[in-house]
Amino acid sequence: MLRPLHQSRRQRLPAFAGGLFVLLVVAGFVGVALAALLAGRLSGGLLSAFADPVVRSVLSFTLWQAFLSTVISVGLALPVASALARQRDFPGRIWLIRLMAVPMGLPVLIGALGLIGIFGRSGIVNDALRYMGLSQPISIYGLTGILVAHVFFNLPLATRLMLSALERVPAEYWRMSASLGLSPLSTFRFIEWPVLARVIPGAAGLVFMLCVTSFTLVLVFGGGPAATTIEVAIYQALRFDFNPERAVSLALLQITVTAVILAALSFLPAASDTGVTTGRRYQRFDGERPLVRLIDGLLLLLAGLFLVLPLGQVVVSGLQADLGRLVSQASVHQAALTSLVVAITSGLLSVLLAYGAVAARAEIATIRNRNAGSRIFSVALAAASSLVLLVPTSVLATGWFLALRPRADVAGFAPFVVAGINALMALPFAVRVLEPAYREHRARTGRLSESLGLSVAQRLRRIDWPVLKRPLLMALAFAMALSLGDLGAVALFGSENISTLPALIYAQIGSYRSTDADGLALLLGVVCLALALIGAPGLQKNSDQRERRDA
Residue 191 lies in a domain: yes
**Chosen domain end from 454, 473, 498:** 498
* pTM of the shown model: 0.85
Residue 232 lies in a domain: yes
Q: Pick from 357, 406, 361, 415: which is nearest to 386 by CA? A: 357
The pLDDT tens digits of the residues spanning 58-106 come to 999 999 999 999 999 999 999 999 999 888 888 888 889 888 888 877 8
Residue 323 lies in a domain: no
Name the percent of the chain lying above pLDDT 90.
Answer: 30
Residues spanned by the domain of 457: 1-41+336-498
**Same domain flag for 272 and 346:** no
Count of the separate structural domains present in the chain: 2
Residue 173 lies in a domain: yes
Residue 418 lies in a domain: yes
Which pairs from 503-510 meet CB under 8 Å and 24+ separation?
503/335, 504/331, 504/332, 504/335, 505/109, 505/110, 505/113, 506/109, 506/219, 506/220, 509/113, 509/220
**Chosen domain end from 314, 346, 380:** 314
Q: Pick from 499, 473, 470, 474: which is nearest to 487 by CA? A: 499
Residue 521 lies in a domain: no
**Same domain flag for 132 and 277:** yes
**Same domain flag for 36 and 160:** no
Amino acid at 204: A
CA distances (Å), origin 264, targets 205, 255, 267 = 8, 14, 6
Q: Pick from 136, 201, 133, 134: which is nearest to 165 by CA? A: 201
**Chosen domain end from 314, 347, 363:** 314
pLDDT of residue 110: 92
**Same domain flag for 269 and 132:** yes
pLDDT band at 365 (very low <50, low <70, confident <90, very high): confident
The pLDDT tens digits of the residues spanning 494-532 come to 766 678 899 999 988 888 788 899 999 999 999 888 887
The pLDDT tens digits of the residues spanning 459-476 come to 778 888 888 888 898 889
Residue 326 lies in a domain: no
